[in-house]
């Protein structure tokens, strides 16, 4: 029997123990007579089920097992050879019903077309899946202006957050004369809860190289940079190998595919500054300067890297390019809405069952994204809201779940599409605390150039901290809104301009929670420590001493088999007693 066995070895898989699983399969194959090719792949998007192992037979029948542990490998493979399938472990299959078959049916994969399917370190795998065919078509069959027009006709908008038309951006760079131009891939993904770029770079690095090379040819650039944060070591490793292999095979470097087009590509590792996701700060970082935004105009297309015409797109945008050139704009823009074409990748995180990566057509309602694709809530508590767009975005409440996924509809809610981070929250989430978390992030990440951003976000954070400690006033809410307006209008770059969004949307949709913190000195979600109070109900306490044994400050006293009591002056409100009590005798208010 000729088999192929693939193990998901992306960051999520490795964190879940995929390397041990891979080695267990390797050992099994060495000690058995089974003939099988063992290969690694990347993330198929189902991070919640890692480690993943896919078995493919000679007839291309596929079974993907989820949550595989090293000690299960021998049993699963032995049973497979005997025709027995562990159905409880199968999450995907083309010959039977897997638990997540429906998950994929509700997705449309263009950006993620190869992720989790091919070996990201194999150029041959990429070529066998139409790799570099689009580049060959662009170089040998299309004029530069035709390529730009095809991207325009596709309706592809930048997936980095603002949603600016990609073809128009390329046109600006093409129209600017000059013997030297640059093409940059922005892979400085810094939003909390976002991991789209990382997964694509880990899983399909050649698609980014191909997209960049096509774009560079279109605008007339001969040099490019992939700006990737150093916290993504596996992505960088895969990119380095892909660039080396592409160059050796004639897809990069001089006289690409026998033409007179030259394009050299470099990797610049960022040091993890969130502000370097902004175009001008990113270019300053590449130039060796401190990553701080510059005044625009001039825009990068006119004067960018080292003063030369420069085009910058993010990872997800570029992952669409080869597919569009190969399949045509018409096929691409049949997906999506009138003003938002194609698909969108989201990183699902938070209180959701199917945490991981998904790709859905634009126009899908948020409700379907969360419940049909994401599998719904992970906890028994009801859905409360979803944070879209990270620190630059906002919270969308339950009553707006019918909002469709497109740039304009999301913006109307006060949130933004952003790069695609989607953090799902249930009723146990405090929205004031959420706003404080994101303000703390943007305040720390502010480069300090603009007074409104540097000082204004600090003042907002101080107010939010007071509110979560029960020391806020109703006047604080007016001050927050006033500061938000001033920061948005007085900041130079997108970090400051959008920093107030999490506060503004939570004030708009969850104002009663702010009021409860201020007037009632109460956190409805039971999250804000300073406002919590743990008490023991004497009638329910059996005196088992479990609570006293876990209390780190010895705030609980009482005799065995008699009701205990919490000393409120000593209690640090850590919640250990609440978690330890099996008799619901401890209340949290």
Helix ranges restricted to H, 491-561: 494-498, 501-509, 511-519, 546-550
Domain check: are 89 and 144 in the same one?
no
Last residue of one domain, picked from the residues 426, 456, 472: 426
Q: Are residues 267 and 389 in the same domain?
A: no
Domain assignment present for residue 116? The answer is no
Distances (CA, A) of 21 to 16, 25, 53, 69, 131: 10, 6, 9, 6, 29
Q: 545 and 504: one domain?
A: no
Query: Does residue 419 belong to any structural domain of this protein?
Result: yes
CATH code, domain with 187? 3.40.50.11540
- With 0.85 as the threshold, say if the pTM is over it: yes
Residue whose token pair is 């700006």: 227
Q: Are residues 450 and 564 in the same domain?
A: no
- CA 515-523-377 angle, to 5 degrees, is 110
| Residue 95, domain member (yes or no) | yes
Residue in the block written with tokens 């409860």 = 516
DSSP 374: S
Are residues 59 and 151 located together in one domain of the fold? no
Closest C-alpha to 225, from 160, 133, 313:
313
Q: Cα–Cα distances in Å, from 329 out to 339, 341, 407?
A: 14, 10, 19
Which residue, 279, 313, 332, sits at the end of a domain?
332
Integer-rounded Cα Rg, in Å, for the chain is: 26
Residues 6+ apart with CB under 8 A from 489: 452
Judge if 401 and 326 occupy the same domain: no
**Regions of the chain where pLDDT drops below 50:** none
Q: Give the count of domains, the chain.
A: 5
- Identify the CATH number of the domain in which residue 485 sits: 1.20.1440.230
The pLDDT value given to residue 420: 86
Query: Helices 205-219 and 315-327: crossing angle, nearest 10°?
Result: 70
Q: Which of 172, 201, 175, 171 is CA-nearest to residue 186?
A: 201
CATH of the domain at 17: 3.40.30.10
pLDDT tens string 91-129:
999 999 999 998 899 999 999 999 999 999 999 999 999
274 located within any domain: yes
What's the pLDDT score for residue 309? 98
pLDDT tens digit sequence for 462-517: 999 999 999 999 999 999 999 999 999 999 998 999 999 999 999 999 999 999 99
- Domain presence at residue 398: yes
Asked if the structure places residue 139 within a domain, the reply is: yes
- Which residues contact residue 315 at a Cβ distance below 8 angstroms, ignoring those fewer than 6 apart? 185, 186, 187, 189, 196, 197, 200, 201, 208
The CATH number of whichever domain residue 367 belongs to comes to 3.10.20.600
Q: Looking at the structure, tell me whether residues 182 and 245 fall in a common domain.
A: yes
Q: Are residues 186 and 278 in the same domain?
A: yes
Q: Of all residues in the chain, what percent are helix, strand and coil, respectively (each to 5)?
A: 45, 15, 40
DSSP output for 258-293 = GSS--BEEEEEEE---GGGGSHHHHHHHHTTS----
Within-domain flag for 162:
yes
Domain CATH code at residue 562: 3.30.70.20
Same domain, 150 and 92: no
Q: What is the pLDDT of residues 269-304, one digit of tens each?
A: 998 888 999 999 999 999 999 999 998 899 999 999
H or E stretch covering 122: none
> How confident is the model at residue 1, as a pLDDT?
53
Of the three residues 484, 519, 554, the one that is the final residue of a domain is 519
| pLDDT tens by residue, 340-365 | 999 999 999 999 999 999 999 999 99
Whether residue 299 is found in the same domain as residue 213? yes
Q: Which domain range does residue 401 map to? A: 343-426
In a domain, 386, yes or no: yes
**Distance between CA atoms of residues 360 and 340, nearest Å:** 12
In terms of residues, how long is the chain? Answer: 589
pLDDT score for 194: 86
Contact in structure between 45 and 355 (CB atoms under 8 Å) = no
Residues 455 and 438 both lie in one domain: yes
Statement to judge: residues 354 and 327 lie in one domain: no
Could you tell me the two tokens for 293?
A: 């935004």
């Amino acid at each position: 029997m000729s088999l192929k066995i693939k193990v998901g070895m992306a960051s999520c898989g490795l964190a879940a123990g995929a390397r041990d699983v891979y080695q267990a399969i390797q050992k099994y194959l060495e000690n058995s007579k089974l003939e099988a090719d063992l290969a690694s792949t990347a993330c198929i998007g189902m991070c919640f089920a890692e480690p993943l192992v896919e078995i493919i037979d000679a007839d291309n029948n596929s079974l993907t097992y989820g949550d595989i542990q090293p000690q299960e490998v021998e049993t699963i493979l032995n049973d497979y050879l005997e025709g027995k399938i562990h159905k409880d472990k199968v999450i995907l299959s083309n010959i039977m019903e897997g638990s997540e078959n429906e998950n994929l049916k509700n997705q449309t994969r263009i950006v993620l077309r190869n992720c989790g399917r091919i070996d990201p370190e194999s150029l041959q795998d990429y070529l066998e899946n139409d790799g570099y065919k689009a580049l060959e078509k662009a170089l040998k069959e299309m004029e530069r202006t035709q390529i730009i027009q095809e991207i325009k006709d596709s309706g592809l908008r930048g997936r980095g957050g603002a949603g600016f038309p990609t073809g128009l951006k390329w046109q600006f760079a093409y129209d600017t004369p000059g013997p030297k131009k640059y093409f940059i891939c922005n892979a400085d993904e810094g939003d909390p809860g976002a991991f789209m770029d990382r997964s694509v770079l880990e899983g399909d690095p050649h698609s980014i190289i191909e997209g960049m090379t096509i774009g560079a040819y279109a605008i007339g650039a001969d040099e490019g940079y992939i700006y990737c944060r150093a916290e993504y070591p596996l992505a960088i490793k895969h990119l380095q190998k892909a660039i080396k292999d592409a160059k050796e095979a004639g897809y990069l470097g001089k006289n690409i595919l026998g033409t007179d087009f030259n394009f050299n590509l470099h990797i610049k590792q960022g040091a993890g500054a969130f502000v370097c996701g902004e175009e001008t700060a990113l270019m300053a970082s590449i130039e060796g300067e401190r990553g701080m935004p510059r005044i625009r105009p001039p825009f990068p297309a006119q004067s960018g890297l080292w003063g030369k015409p420069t085009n910058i797109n993010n990872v997800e945008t570029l992952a669409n390019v080869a597919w569009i050139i190969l399949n045509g704009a018409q096929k691409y823009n049949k997906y999506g809405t009138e003003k938002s074409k194609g698909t969108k990748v989201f990183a699902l995180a938070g209180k959701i069952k199917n945490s991981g990566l998904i790709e859905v057509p634009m126009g899908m309602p948020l409700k379907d994204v969360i419940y049909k694709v994401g599998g719904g809530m992970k906890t028994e508590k009801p859905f409360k809201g979803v944070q879209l767009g990270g620190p630059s975005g906002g919270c969308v409440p339950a009553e707006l779940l019918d909002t469709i996924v497109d740039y304009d509809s999301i913006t109307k809610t006060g949130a933004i599409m952003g790069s695609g981070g989607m953090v799902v929250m249930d009723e146990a989430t405090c929205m004031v605390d959420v706003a404080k978390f994101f303000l703390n992030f943007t305040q720390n990440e502010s480069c300090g150039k603009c007074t409104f951003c540097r000082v204004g976000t600090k003042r907002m954070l101080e107010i939010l901290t007071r509110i979560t400690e029960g020391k806020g006033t109703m006047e604080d809410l007016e001050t927050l809104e006033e500061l938000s307006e001033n920061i948005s209008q007085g900041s130079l770059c997108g970090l400051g301009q959008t920093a107030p969004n999490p506060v503004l949307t939570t004030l708009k949709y969850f104002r009663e929670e702010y009021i409860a913190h201020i007037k009632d000195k109460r956190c409805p979600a039971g999250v804000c420590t300073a406002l919590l109070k743990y008490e023991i109900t004497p009638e329910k306490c059996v005196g088992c001493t479990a609570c006293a044994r876990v209390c780190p400050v010895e705030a609980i006293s009482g005799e065995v088999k008699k009701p205990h009591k919490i000393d409120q002056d000593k209690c640090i409100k850590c919640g250990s007693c609440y978690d330890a009590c099996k008799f619901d005798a401890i209340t949290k208010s």
